[in-house]
Structure 1
């Protein structure tokens, strides 16, 4: 199942409280402020837990 991009209008980074961007491969949501990427599972559900995020530059 694909991530519903309409959710980007209402969800924010749990750490910074800024909007998230869908990463190119569609398997994560990235915060441009803290550089965390939150995974999206195979059912299209984003996991917005700090301990599941990966910090990328």
Structure 2
């Protein structure tokens, strides 16, 4: 089975992460291990990345469980 081709325009550029902050706490965001979300450890929120674009709206965010926060906080920064 062939893997689907990913449009390069839909890939989140990790360099952009340095410029983004959590809209609630204004703290640094961390890229999730599967690169599908930006996580705010301070706010305990995860913001989805859709087609390479982070949706930094509180309406789009999901609450992150404490176990997930611990895992993200222990990982080295990108």
How many Å apart are 1:13 and its aligned residue?
A: 0.1
Q: Which runs of 4+ in 1 moved over 3 A?
A: none
Structure 2: give runs of 5+ residues left out of the alignment. Answer: 1-9, 66-78
Q: 1:7-56, CA deviations, whole angstroms, 9 ceiling, x for partnerless residues?
A: 11111000000000000111100001011000000x20000000100011
Structure 1: give runs of 5+ residues left out of the alignment. Answer: none
The structure whose Rg is larger is: 2
TM-score of the two chains, using structure 2 as the length reference: 0.69
RMSD after superposition = 0.7
Tell me how many residue pairs correspond in the alignment: 56
- Higher relative CO (Cα under 8 Å, sequence separation at least 6) belongs to 1
- The answer to which structure has the higher helix fraction is 2
Is 2:54 the counterpart of 1:35? no
